[in-house]
Amino acid sequence: MTNDKHEAVIGLEVHAQLRTETKAFCGCTTKFGNAPNSNVCPVCLGMPGVLPVLNKKVVDFTIRMGLATHCSVASKSVFARKNYFYPDLPKGYQISQYEEPMCQHGYVDIEMEDGASKRIGITRIHMEEDAGKSIHDLDVDTLVDVNRCGVPLIEIVSEPDIRTPHEAYQYLYAIKQLVTYLDICDGNMEEGSLRCDANVSVRLKGVEKFGTKTEVKNMNSFRHVERALEYEIQRQIELIEDGGNVVQETLLWDANKNVAVPMRSKEEAHDYRYFPEPDLVPVLVSEEWINEVKKILPELPKERRNRFIRNFGLPKYDAEVITAEKPVADYFENAASHLSQKNSDTYKSVSNWVMTDVLRVVNERHIAVNDFPVLPEHLSAMINFIIEGTISGKIAKDVFEEMLKTGEEPKAIIERKGLMQVSDASVIEKAVDDVLARNAEQVEKYRGGKTQVFGFFIGETMKATKGKANPKLVNEILKKKLAG
Amino acid sequence: MSFVNTPAFDSYRLRLAAGKESCVERTEHYLTVIHQRSALNAFLSVFENEALEEAHRVDQKIKRGTAGPLAGMVVAVKDVLCMKGKRTTCASKMLEKYEAIYDATVIERLRAADAVIIGKTNMDEFAMGSSNENSAFGPVKHPLDETRVPGGSSGGSCVAVAAGMSTTALGSDTGGSIRQPAGLCGMFGLKPTYGRVSRYGLVAFASSFDQIGPFANSARDVAHVLQVIAGYDERDSTSANVPVPGYLGAMNRNVRGLKIGIPKEYFTDALNSEIRSAIEKQIHRLKSSGAEVVEVSLPHSEYTIATYYILATAEASSNLARYDGARYGYRAQGARDLSEMYTKSRSEGFGTEVKRRIMLGTYVLSAGYYDAYYRKAQKVRRLIQNDFLDAFKKADCLITPISPTTAFRLGEKLEDPLQMYLNDIYTVSANLAGIPGISVPAGKDHQGLPVGMQILGKHFDEETLLRVADFLEAA
C-alpha cells in the first residue's frame, strides 16, 4: 500500500463508553436495549432549568485509564461545553472537557510487524457525555432516541506517532485490551461502545513537517480501521504523486463499497464555541484518590502475559492468546489453580484445552467465557484424571463434550458412563488374546517381519475395550504376546 | 412601603394561630386584588382553585398544630421557575405552551414549609431586561403610576408584593433583576450569595450569575423566605454546602460598631442628586446610631457592565440553545429541512432582546474572538471579585445606589439597548463577584417615586444585610 518514498502519519481518537451503572450527570440507568426514550429524566432530556451532577464513578474509571496509560492525572480538571445543534443533543451542547482535561502525556506500547516494540504517545484522555441516536431510516420522519444521552465516555487522543494501518490496529487493540482489563468498557466496536476516528496525512520519508491531514470517521470494526487507513493513505499518496493537493476534510468510511466519502462541508463547518461549563464545579482529584485507584488497579495484559510465561512456563504464543482477553486469562488461572500436579507440562495441558476446546466453543456459540458451561475447576478435574491415568486423552474428549452438554463434574460423567480407564493387566491380556486369536493371519505377518501391522493390533484391542484400556499397558502386553 | 394592606408575617402568623384570620381568607383577598389590578399585568398564571385548596389544607394544619414555618404565607413565583404540570413560559413565545415536568427545588421547599403558591408572574423574556417591557405577554406596569415601568426582569413578582397580590414573591437576579425592580417599587428584594439557594428548576439565563431570591414588604419577611429556600441541594453542584444560620435571630436592630463602606466609584457626579441625598440620609442614620462609615474603592467598576454583558450573554447563548423546536416549545411551520426548522423556530419564537443577547454571546465565544472577549472578561471578573474582597477587609457591608434613576416611563429606553444596559451599572457587580445584595427603600423623589438603596455583603453574610435593612426599616 505505501510506497518507498512516502510515509503516513496517523493519530487516533478513540471513544470508549464507560460501563457505569448510571449516566454521567443524572441517575438514569445506562442499560442497553431498553425501549426508546425510557432511560430518561428531566436532566438528560435537557428540560429547562435542569442541572448536571457528576457521577463520581466516571472520574474513577477515567483515573484508571489514565494510570494504565502512564498519564499524569490532573489534580484539577474542568468540564466545558461543546456547542452545536442536533436533534439528538437535547441541550444544544455536549458536556466535555477542553482546555483542562483529566489525563495528559501518557503512552501505550504496541508490537510492530517485525516483533519490535513501539511506544505510541497519548496526548490526553478526557471525560464527556454521549449524545442520543437519530433514526433516519424509517418512513415517518427522523426519530430520536435519547436513552444514550448522557452515557459517559472517555476520549483517548493519541499523538501522531502511528505510521502504518497495522500499527493503528495494534494500538487500537492495546486500548481495547486495557479498557476491558480495567473493566471500564466492554470494548465492543461493532456495538459502538468503542469508536475510533483517525487523522491521516502523508509526507515524504525524512521530511519532518506534516502533510495536510484528513479525518476518517465511521470505522465500526478493527478491520474497517485497517482497511480505511490503507485506502486513505493510498488515496493521498496517489493524489500527491499526480501533482495534486490533499484537502483538509472529513471522510466517512463506507465499509460496503470500501471507499471513504467526504462529508458535506456544511456538516463539518462547526465552530463549537467551547467554554467552561458553569453548571459544574472543577473536578478535584486528590493524591489519596489516585492512590486508592492504584490499589485496585488490576494486572494489565502485558504484565499478565509475562507472568504466564515466567510462572507457568507457557510458550509466548500461548500466553498471548490466553491473556488477550481478561476473562480467558481468568479462566485459565482458575483452572490451573485446581491442578493436582502443578508443572509446566500440566499447565501447558490446561493451555491446550483452553486454546483449542474452550475458545473454539466460545467462538462457535458467540458466548462469553464467563458463561462457558464447563467450569474451570471441572476442566482441571478432568485433566487431573488424565494425569492420574483414570482416563485417556481420547476418552477425555468425550468427557468434555458431555460436560459441555450437562455442566456436570467429570467424575460423575466418568462413573455414570463407565469411562474409567482399564489398567488391570489381566483384563487387557484377555482382550489381547482374543484379538490375536481372531487375526492369526496378521500375527503370522508380524512375526514374519512385517512389524508395521502393530498399529492394527493396537486399534483392535482399543476397539475391544471401548477405548478404555490404558494405551501404555496395551502396548507392552501386545509386544510381549506377539514376541511369543 | 406597602400600598395595600399586607401585614408583616410575624404578626399575621399570631392572628392565624389565634384563629382571628385564616389562610383561605388571606388567599381570597389576594385573588381579589389580582383581579382588581389586572391592568398591572403582573401575573401570567393564577392558580385560583389550587391556591384556595392549598390554603384550606394549611388552615387545617394550623388548627392541628402541624403547620410549617411559612404556613399562611401566600407566595407568587416568577415564571422562570419550574412547577410540575404548570406552564413555565419565561414570558417567551418559545415556551408559551410549555408545561414543566418537575418542580424546582425552591418550589418543593416552599410547599414543604406550607406556603401557598398563588400564581406565576410576568417578567422580561428569559429574564433579560431591566424594565419588564421585554415580555411576550405585554409589560408589567408600575403600581404607583401605570405609565411607568416597575423595573425588571422580575417585575411581575415585585409588583405582586408591592400591589398587595401576595405576601412575598420569588424572583431571579442575574444582573440586578430582583434588586432593581425592588428599588423602583420601594420593596425589599434580596439577591443571595451565589450558591446560597439551589438553582435546580430555575430556567437558566446565565448559570454563573443566576440566583433566586425573595421580594417582601419587610426585611423580616425576606428573612422568613430565605430561611426556607436557602441551603445545599445535591441536584445543584454549584449550591454551597455552607450551614444556613438563623436569619431572624440576627436582626437585633443594632448597628453599633458596624463598619459601612461607601465605594467612591458609585457616588460620582453622574449620580442623580435626589437619589444621592436620599441615600446619604440613610447613611447618616446609620452613623448616628453608632455605625462607622468608611470610604472604600472598587477600582475596576468601570469595567463591570462590559464584563457582565460579555460573560452573561456567552452563557445565555449556550443555555438557550435547547430551545430549537425539536423536542418541546415553539416550532415554526413549513420548514423544508432541519436547518430551516431551527432558524425559523428560533427567529419566530424569541423576542428581539433575547436574540440580541444570543448573537452577542455567540460572537464572544466564537473562534478568533474568544480570547479578546470571553477570556479577557473572565480575567476582569476575577479582578472585580478581588476589589470586593479588598473592600470587605475594611467594611462589613457596602452601601450603593441601585439604579441611576427612579422608575422611568414605558418605552423611554426601549429603543436604546445600551441605555437600558447602563441601568444595571450598580447591580451587576454583585453577580460578577457572587456576593449578596439587598434592596432597601430609601425614601421618595420629588415625583413621589420610590428611591432604592443597595446593601452589599460578604459571601454568605446575608445576616448583616438583613440586620441593616431591618434597622433602617424600623427607625
Q: What is the pLDDT of residue A111?
A: 85
Task: Indicate the range of A88-102, A333-347, B211-225 predicted with least confidence.
Answer: A333-347
Say yes or no for a CB contact (<8 Å) between B326 and A83: no
Mean pLDDT of chain A: 91
Of B44, B63, B246, B7, nearest to B154 (Cα)? Answer: B44
Residue A315 near chain B (CB below 8 Å): no
Express each pLDDT in B57-81 by its tens digit: 999 999 999 999 999 999 999 999 9
Express each pLDDT in B76-97 by its tens digit: 999 999 999 999 999 999 999 9
Task: Show residues of chain B in contact with A50, CB under 8 Å.
Answer: 102, 200-201
How would you write A180-222 as a 3-class SS string?
HHCCCCCCCCCCCCEEEEEEEEEEECCCCCCCCCEEEEEECCH
Contact residues, B window 333-362, toward A, CB-based 8 Å cutoff: 338, 342, 362
How near does any CA of chain A get to the CA of B334, in Å? Answer: 15
Q: Which of helix, strand or coil describes residue A81? A: strand
Q: What is the pLDDT of residue B290?
A: 96
B9-250 is a CATH 3.90.1300.10 domain: yes
What confidence tier does B421 reach under pLDDT thresholds 50, 70, 90?
confident
Task: Show residues of chain B in contact with A271, CB under 8 Å.
Answer: 366-367
| Helical H segments across B230-351, by residue range | 273-288, 304-319, 338-349
Say yes or no for a CB contact (<8 Å) between A91 and B322: yes
How near does any CA of chain B get to the CA of A265, in Å? Answer: 14
B257 close to B291: Cβ distance less than 8 angstroms: yes
Residues pairing with A76 in the sheet? A284
Higher pLDDT, B314 or A365: B314
Say yes or no for a CB contact (<8 Å) between A90 and B200: no
Contacts 24+ apart (CB under 8 A), A55-58: A55/A20, A55/A22, A55/A23, A55/A24, A55/A25, A55/A152, A57/A18, A57/A20, A57/A21, A57/A22, A58/A18, A58/A20, A58/A24, A58/A127, A58/A152
Mean pLDDT of chain B: 95
Q: Which element (helix H / strand E) includes B456?
A: strand B450-457
What confidence tier does A440 reach under pLDDT thresholds 50, 70, 90?
confident
Q: What is the pLDDT of residue A113?
A: 80
Contacts of B3 (CB under 8 A, 6+ apart): B143, B144, B162, B163, B164
| Domains of chain A, start order | 6-290 (no CATH), 299-417 (no CATH), 425-483 (1.10.10.410)
Q: Is residue A28 over pLDDT 70?
A: yes
Query: What is the rounded average pLDDT of the residues A427-451?
Result: 87
Task: Show residues of chain A in contact with B338, CB under 8 Å.
Answer: 87, 142
- β pairing state of B74-78 and B116-121: parallel
Percent of chain A at pLDDT > 70 equals: 98
Say yes or no for a CB contact (<8 Å) between B314 and A85: no
How near does any CA of chain A get to the CA of B370, in Å? Answer: 8
What confidence tier does B1 reach under pLDDT thresholds 50, 70, 90?
very low
Q: Is residue B3 over pLDDT 50?
A: no
Q: How far, in Å, CA of A318 to CA of A308, rounded?
A: 9
Contacts of B134 (CB under 8 A, 6+ apart): B91, B124, B125, B128, B152, B153, B351, B352, B353, B354
Say yes or no for a CB contact (<8 Å) between B237 and A275: no
* CB pairs < 8 Å spanning A and B: 100
Say yes or no for a CB contact (<8 Å) between A49 and B104: yes
Higher pLDDT, A255 or B236: B236
Q: What is the pLDDT of residue B317?
A: 98
Say yes or no for a CB contact (<8 Å) between A144 and B100: no
Q: Is residue B5 over pLDDT 70?
A: no
Total number of residues shown for chain B: 475
Higher pLDDT, B164 or A385: B164
Task: Show residues of chain A in contact with B236, CB under 8 Å.
Answer: 51, 53
> Quick one: closest CA in B to A266, which residue?
B339
> Quick one: closest CA in B to A48, which residue?
B203
Q: Is residue A267 over pLDDT 60?
A: no
Residue B79: all three cell numbers together: 415564571
A192 close to A217: Cβ distance less than 8 angstroms: no
Task: Indicate the range of A73-77, A435-439, B108-112, B293-297 predicted with least confidence.
Answer: A435-439
Residue B286 near chain A (CB below 8 Å): no
Task: Show residues of chain A in contact with B327, CB under 8 Å.
Answer: 45-46, 87, 90, 144
Q: What is the pLDDT of residue B104?
A: 98
How near does any CA of chain B get to the CA of A49, in Å? Answer: 4
Express each pLDDT in A108-148 by its tens digit: 999 888 888 999 999 999 999 999 998 877 666 788 999 99
Q: How far, in Å, CA of A289 to CA of A273, rounded?
A: 32
Contact residues, A window 107-146, toward B, CB-based 8 Å cutoff: 142, 144
Q: Which of helix, strand or coil describes residue B197? A: strand
Residue B321 near chain A (CB below 8 Å): yes
Residue A278 near chain B (CB below 8 Å): yes
Give catalytic residues of B, as residue numbers. Answer: 78, 153, 177
Q: What is the pLDDT of residue B2?
A: 42
Query: What is the rounded average pLDDT of the residues A390-399?
Result: 84
Is the pTM for the entire model greater than 0.80?
A: yes
> Quick one: closest CA in A to B104, which residue?
A49
Residue A54 near chain B (CB below 8 Å): yes
For B324, the closest of A50, A51, A92 (CB atoms) is A92
Residue A284 near chain B (CB below 8 Å): no
Q: What is the pLDDT of residue A1?
A: 46
Q: Is residue A42 over pLDDT 50?
A: yes
Q: How far, in Å, CA of A232 to CA of A310, rounded?
A: 42
Task: Show residues of chain A in contact with B233, CB under 8 Å.
Answer: none
Task: Show residues of chain B in contact with A96, CB under 8 Å.
Answer: none
Q: How far, in Å, CA of A154 to CA of A386, rounded?
A: 48
Task: Show residues of chain B in contact with A280, CB under 8 Å.
Answer: 237-238
Return the domain boundaries, chain B. 9-250, 259-300+382-474, 305-372
Query: What is the rounded average pLDDT of the residues B387-405?
Result: 97
Q: What is the pLDDT of residue A141?
A: 76
Express each pLDDT in A58-115 by its tens digit: 999 999 999 999 999 999 999 999 999 999 999 999 999 999 999 999 999 998 888 8
What confidence tier does A265 reach under pLDDT thresholds 50, 70, 90?
low
Express each pLDDT in A166-215 by its tens digit: 999 999 999 999 999 999 999 988 888 999 999 999 999 989 999 999 99
Q: What is the pLDDT of residue A252?
A: 93
Express each pLDDT in B116-154 by its tens digit: 999 999 999 999 999 999 999 999 999 999 999 999 999
Say yes or no for a CB contact (<8 Å) between B88 and A91: no
Contacts of B200 (CB under 8 A, 6+ apart): A49, A50, A51, B104, B105, B233, B235, B236, B239
Residue A81 near chain B (CB below 8 Å): yes
Query: What is the rounded average pLDDT of the residues B198-223?
Result: 98
Say yes or no for a CB contact (<8 Å) between A51 and B327: no
How near does any CA of chain B get to the CA of A280, in Å? Answer: 6
Place of cell 406565576: B120
Residue B234 near chain A (CB below 8 Å): yes
Say yes or no for a CB contact (<8 Å) between B338 and A273: no
A34 close to A23: Cβ distance less than 8 angstroms: no
For A275, the closest of B90, B202, B314 (CB atoms) is B314
How near does any CA of chain B get to the CA of A286, in Å? Answer: 19
Q: Is residue B35 over pLDDT 60?
A: yes
Residue B103 near chain A (CB below 8 Å): no
Percent of chain B at pLDDT > 70 equals: 99
